[in-house]
Structure 1
């Protein structure tokens, strides 16, 4: 979260509640991965809350490195894999599944690269204005293409899904990503993850639409016929 420790912890609590509610909406194991998105964002927001505390209170400075790495691990390693994977698990059409696998592979490649850089190069977090800036001394030669691959893995899969309302999630993620690049470039990791965590509320409503569609379809296949005796 890009404002304060209280805001991060508050968002973490709200997202945890939404995550639990989303998981309760699941009817199949394949839906579970998608339903956990708000819950994972919750953990990430709690991690950044501890980053805030470590940066504003010298007594908790020992928390800075572990909380920074935990936050970046979710932002740069988990999401480019989890987003295409969880959406792929919802897909029932084999041709579409193969297409999702392509973006999952892209996500795995960028996640592996970012994870390697994270443990191979210096990583720092600091407060600039009202935001947390994560400084990563990664090779500049791959920075531009890395952002493109990350965007492909996290933005395109929702548009490929046949699930009702999933396109809304795709548009929201894409819009927040573009706005963050243009207006918060120095804080892109923190600010975009904040926007994306709020957007993940849509996960609950998408699962609700899946549930309603499934119940409606089952009712169509197995209508209950009431016979009234006169």
Structure 2
């Protein structure tokens, strides 16, 4: 499979209008699903940004690469760490789970700062290369982690994103989480070098499921979520 500016721009151009339509449907059907409805739009914007990374690399435009790569990482290592648990919390009716998702959102925010602050302070800490037709983002953190800490950080990153979806009390979010998990396993097996970039690409692709959910129409909830 060959990833490129064309692939990222095409997916982004597909997802952005789908996301806008989902947000409009959520406003009409159930505003508590607004965070979920925003998934295709956010992924679409992220893919357009990654398309700019490809363009910058092709044109040897280091400034464009630096800006676009920082924008992509802001999504991959920041936005999704907060937005995913908040999405689960927004429709959660079970108080213990609701509290866990809110706590994970706070943890995700701090974890996102841990990744992004070094880049904001010193943009040269982030570099991008092409490996087997996919992008590899290399982050130089403020402290070089040990192998054990790297494994812990990787596990925490994945769990912060996947746990709220897979363990959500809402079936739509559960199913999206299952699709994102399949995307993760596929990426880890076949595109491990460019894991973050490729996982985000496939996660963006499966976010089209959200469009299907709102096209079908949300079923009335028998129990309202916690506020």
Task: Name the TM-score, length of structure 1 as normaliser.
Answer: 0.84
Give the length in aligned residue pairs.
214
Alpha carbons 2:131, 2:193 under 8 Å: kept: no
Shift of 1:147: 0.9
Root-mean-square deviation (Å): 2.2
Distance 1:6 1:17, change over 3 A: same
Runs of 5+ unmatched residues, structure 2: 223-227
Deviations 1:138-165 (A, max 9, x none): 3232321111111111101112222223
Alpha carbons 2:73, 2:116 under 8 Å: kept: no
Deviations 1:73-128 (A, max 9, x none): 11101111111111211223333311322322332232222123433561111222
* 1:16 to 2:21 alignment: no
Larger Rg: 1
The runs of at least 4 aligned residues of structure 1 exceeding 6 Å deviation read none
Return the match for 2:181 from 174, 177, 182: 174
* 1:192 to 2:199 alignment: yes
Q: Distance in 2 between matches of 1:156 and 1:13?
A: 29
1:42 maps to 44
Runs of 5+ unmatched residues, structure 1: 218-230
Task: Name the TM-score, length of structure 2 as normaliser.
Answer: 0.85
Shift of 1:2: 6.3
Alpha carbons 1:123, 1:137 under 8 Å: kept: yes
Alpha carbons 1:158, 1:169 under 8 Å: kept: yes
2:210 maps to 203
User: After superposition, where does 1:64-79 map in structure 2 within 5 Å?
Assistant: 64-79=65-80
User: After superposition, where does 1:102-181 map in structure 2 within 5 Å?
Assistant: 102-119=103-120, 122-138=125-141, 139-141=144-146, 142-181=149-188
Alpha carbons 2:40, 2:208 under 8 Å: kept: yes
Alpha carbons 1:166, 1:206 under 8 Å: kept: no
